Chain A
Amino acid sequence: NFMLTQPHSVSESPGKTVTISCTRSSGSIASNYVQWYQQRPGSVPTTVIYEDNQRPSGVPDRFSGSIDSSSNSASLTISGLKTEDEADYYCQSYDSSNHWVFGGGTSLTVL
């Protein structure tokens, strides 16, 4: 099995761009799709990126996803930060046994 490691927290100012990383401990990041979920305080998670870089309908194009095989990591980039983007963000992938694996989550502060 593998783990997904995210920074515990990040902060940035409104209007700026922030990138949250998600590093896979073993096996190639490109082997299995990576998803990103946003969870605002007291709310249910929602998908902001699926299948590495796809945005569900309704998610603004300020959100983008990518993978980097050289660092074996996935990234979520949010541009033009808004205070409403303040939330916890989780990356998620799956292993060869179809077990989902979540990263530990990153708390984004927009200040």
Chain B
Amino acid sequence: EVQLVESGGGLVKPGGSLRLSCAASGFTFSSYSFNWVRQAPGEGLEWVSSITSATYIYYADSVQGRFTISRDNAKNSLYLQMNSLRAEDTAVYYCARATYITGASADSWGQGTLVTVSS
């Protein structure tokens, strides 16, 4: 069974940093691309970043230069280092596995971890 479990969320002050993790199990982690998708309270889904199996990396303009996505295939884990956090980064952050062939969509989601940026 595919499982994605996020952790690392919490309350942080504006300008602070946080590192999110996503532990994967039930499939060959190294073969897949992954994405971080966030959802602000009461709002819609927003794509944040992606990393392919070949470690090509992409970011949304809103987080470019502040967030860093990475993966550790030996640990079956995905990460999101978030620096210079702003109030508008407050959201539930989901780890999502991309479909194997095209990578065009998410076929599995974690339960999400809440990040709150507030003084």
Q: Which residues of A contact B (CB under 8 A)?
A: 32-33, 35, 37, 39, 44-47, 50-51, 56, 88, 90, 92-94, 97-105
Whether B94 pairs with A47 at a CB distance below 8 angstroms is: no
Per-residue CB contact flags for chain B residues 98-110 toward chain A (1 = under 8 Å, else 0) read 0100111111011
Which of chain A's residues has its CB closest to B92's CB?
Answer: A44
Nearest CB of A to B48, in Å? 9
B11 contacts the other chain (CB 8 A): no
Excluding A44-B111, A90-B44, 6 further A-B contacts by CB distance (< 8 Å) are A32-B104, A39-B45, A44-B94, A50-B99, A50-B107, A92-B105
A40 to B105 CA separation, bound complex (whole angstroms): 19
Nearest CB of A to B61, in Å? 8
Which residues from A are CB-within-8-Å of B58?
A: 97-99
Nearest CB of A to B5, in Å? 12
A99 to B61 CA separation, bound complex (whole angstroms): 10
Which of chain A's residues has its CB closest to B47's CB?
Answer: A100
